[in-house]
Structure 1
Amino acid sequence: MWFGTRPLDDADDLVGATLAHSIQIAPRRKLRKGHVLTPESLVAIGEAGIGEITVAIPEAGDMTEDAAAGHIADVFALEGFRREDVGTGRVNFHAAADGVLVVAPGRIDALNTVDPAITLATLPNHSPVREGQMIATVKIIPFAVDGALVEKAAAEVTAPDTIRVHPFRRGLKVAMIQTRVKGTKSSMLDKTWRITNARLESMHAVMTDESRTDHAVAPLAEEIAAQIAENDIVLVFGASAVTDPRDVVPKAIEQAGGAILHVGMPVDPGNLLVLGEIGGKPVIGAPGCARSPKENGFDWVMRRLCAGIAVKGDDIVSMGVGGLLTEIPIRPHPRERQAPESDK
């Protein structure tokens, strides 16, 4: 593409060129950036006393900005989206359902490396999305770009699952178990149930049962075994935080016939989550921060599970970058060092 300033004396050569900057040609008339020049508009520019204009002129082999953006959008192997061609070299994509966005970062980076003229932006990987929310946009920066570069960029994103919205699975059955110790307040357990039920509803899951048992391995294992037989996921909210793989919650999961995949996570709040499974069904030991409606590591795991995305130990390990979330002030052990009682 040729780009630069041309005198209006070259009017015959400027027909079909694209105006690079908006210009005022009359008190109430403006030719906007991106206007494709016609003989009539060139006459109007000359009558306004303007002697030269900045234009972009496509060269052999170029694709216009809209054609280039549309071509890249055409080759996407996308699932769970709605496409919107908005002009000015841009195509937007919107989620077709509530769910979790999963992208292939390496492919996105590869497209963006082809040439600065060609760009693709997405929401962060594994973002929760709502129906209608914009999830990605293709934008061509100049008015035209070499077609060979467009083809090269498009080739980077043709593989399946480059960008995909995994919709939440409607009707997923989830059971909740809460353990008690001496002094545990029923009001706190009731509040945890309400918050968890609302959290699950936002992910289109169904709370089928909520039970309460002593904070001990044997009774908890018995309850986990009973609930996993009738549900897709079991959540365990322990009265005492898990501090070791041999603690009550992980041991109860094992005694119920399950396996522990990971204890702890590099997401804060959410460090004390336990990831287990029984017969391929997830059993989650929820961290104490999950009693709050504020976002925490528990949300990161549950969103994926409710969208049908498997979560293993390696997935937990990879959550550290971006895993420092907003503090929950009511936590019993907040991040900041607390002053001794005598200093308060």
Structure 2
Amino acid sequence: MKKIKTVDAIGHILCHDITRIAPGKFKGRAFKKGHVVKEEDIEVLLSMGKDNLYVWEKIDGLVHENDAAVVLKDLTAGENLEFSEIKEGKIDFIANTDGLLKVDVDALLNLNLIDDIVLSTLHNNFVVKKGLKVAGTRVIPLLIDEQKLIEAKEVVKNKKIVDVIKFKPKKVAIVTTGNEIYHKRIVDKFGPVIKEKVEKFGCQVIGQAICSDDKAMIKNAINDFINQGAELICCTGGMSVDPDDVTPTAIKESGAEIVTYGAPILPGAMFLLAYNKDIPIMGIPGCAMYNKTTVFDVILPRVLIDEKLTKLDIVKYGHGGLCMSCEVCTYPSCNFAKI
């Protein structure tokens, strides 16, 4: 700590709080310990009778919390983010678009293992709206050892830990199966549900085919939609293991490669994911027709950022993949399917 003239204090760090008293108007802290004195502060400080200030002596190898927070922000923040004002070594990361939050969980863990550094995020794969705070970084001490920032750079390397990926709306086709619907014994209620869910993401439904429980008819409907330019195909009905439920077989025989038939997500265990080249095909179980949130709501946002999912991606949902079926659904702001 050293005493210097206030007029010479620009860029220096205050060692203590400074209280301001304006009779009948204000009494409280005007400047906080750790504040970096700016040019516009000088006149205010002088008007408060502060001709001299006690400031930290600049020491090589130590970085002020605010400067360090900027380093961490630049190191970890990726796409489609804006930032709060720096305050007390803290910066908030805010989504500047609707999209899907992607967090490099392993890099996040390794960064937080470094003493005096904090980066906190929402869950990976969280559906976010523009303006939502998705992460925050903070430096714990007022002055941090520069070596820790160097260590942070070595941990993160060229990767970014936090990104918001914009959704890419797709042309969606619905293939609805079932003799009872095909022969008009009952009214299809699945198509409207799928249409509502995909349109919330800006997708366009280019058509719906109603098929009987006939493999060839289902297979042909899938391929016809691919030829029409469909970028996502949602197959509804016929997804159980009953002998007359042939939708999974028809999807496979259409030329698609099955990623998984079955998912550790409840509701939604009979979910199927396949790809015909790069076109995702989802076999959606009946639960999606009457449960507010299911496997379809979990997987759809990832498909809509062009993430090509693997079986491992699906299997990871086993931990947390049980929906509590709350009376008032708050998804995605709940524990369901967070990985």
TM-score, normalised relative to structure 1: 0.77
**Other structure's SS at 1:294 match:** coil
> Partners in 1 of 2:190 and 2:309 — Cα distance?
24
Give the superposition deviation at 1:111: 1.1
Does the 8 Å CA contact 2:180/2:186 hold for their aligned counterparts? no
Partner of 1:169: 168
**Deviation sequence 1:238-267 (CA, Å, 0-9, x none):** 1x4423799511111122222322111111
**Other structure's SS at 2:165 match:** strand
Partner of 2:94: 94
- Inter-CA distance 133–187: structure 2 relative to 1 (3 Å threshold): farther
Match runs of 1:137-286 below 5 Å: 137-170=136-169, 172-182=170-180, 189=188, 191-230=189-228, 231-238=230-237, 240-243=238-241, 247-286=245-284
Does the 8 Å CA contact 1:58/1:144 hold for their aligned counterparts? no
> Partners in 2 of 1:316 and 1:256 — Cα distance?
22
**Other structure's SS at 1:196 match:** helix
Give the superposition deviation at 1:102: 1.4
Give the superposition deviation at 1:328: 7.6
Partner of 2:287: 289
Give the superposition deviation at 1:119: 0.4
Does the 8 Å CA contact 1:286/1:298 hold for their aligned counterparts? yes
Which consecutive residues of structure 1, in runs of 5 or more, have no partner in the other structure?
Answer: 3-9, 45-54, 330-344
Give the superposition deviation at 1:199: 1.1
Match runs of 1:55-94 below 5 Å: 59-76=59-76, 78-94=78-94
Does the 8 Å CA contact 1:177/1:211 hold for their aligned counterparts? yes
- Inter-CA distance 144–34: structure 2 relative to 1 (3 Å threshold): farther
Report the residue type matching 2:102 in the other structure.
V
Percent identity, please.
26
Give the superposition deviation at 1:276: 1.6
**Deviation sequence 1:99-127 (CA, Å, 0-9, x none):** 21112111111111111x21001111111
Alignment of 1:130 with 2:129, yes or no, is yes
**Deviation sequence 1:7-26 (CA, Å, 0-9, x none):** xxx9889x954437x97978
Does the 8 Å CA contact 1:95/1:131 hold for their aligned counterparts? yes
Does the 8 Å CA contact 2:213/2:244 hold for their aligned counterparts? no
- Inter-CA distance 56–221: structure 2 relative to 1 (3 Å threshold): same
Does the 8 Å CA contact 1:174/1:208 hold for their aligned counterparts? yes
Partner of 1:51: none
> Partners in 1 of 2:233 and 2:96 — Cα distance?
29
- Inter-CA distance 91–233: structure 2 relative to 1 (3 Å threshold): same
- Inter-CA distance 323–288: structure 2 relative to 1 (3 Å threshold): same
> Partners in 1 of 2:16 and 2:191 — Cα distance?
61
Report the residue type matching 1:140 in the other structure.
V
Report the residue type matching 2:152 in the other structure.
A
Does the 8 Å CA contact 1:107/1:157 hold for their aligned counterparts? yes
Report the residue type matching 2:145 in the other structure.
D
Give the superposition deviation at 1:284: 0.7
Pairwise CA RMSD: 3.3
Does the 8 Å CA contact 1:180/1:213 hold for their aligned counterparts? yes
**Deviation sequence 1:24-59 (CA, Å, 0-9, x none):** 978841126834499879978xxxxxxxxxx98875
Give the superposition deviation at 1:182: 3.2
TM-score, normalised relative to structure 2: 0.78
Match runs of 1:299-318 below 5 Å: 299-318=297-316
**Deviation sequence 1:57-99 (CA, Å, 0-9, x none):** 8754222211110111123361222233332211222223222
**Other structure's SS at 2:283 match:** strand
> Partners in 1 of 2:58 and 2:272 — Cα distance?
59
Does the 8 Å CA contact 1:18/1:143 hold for their aligned counterparts? no
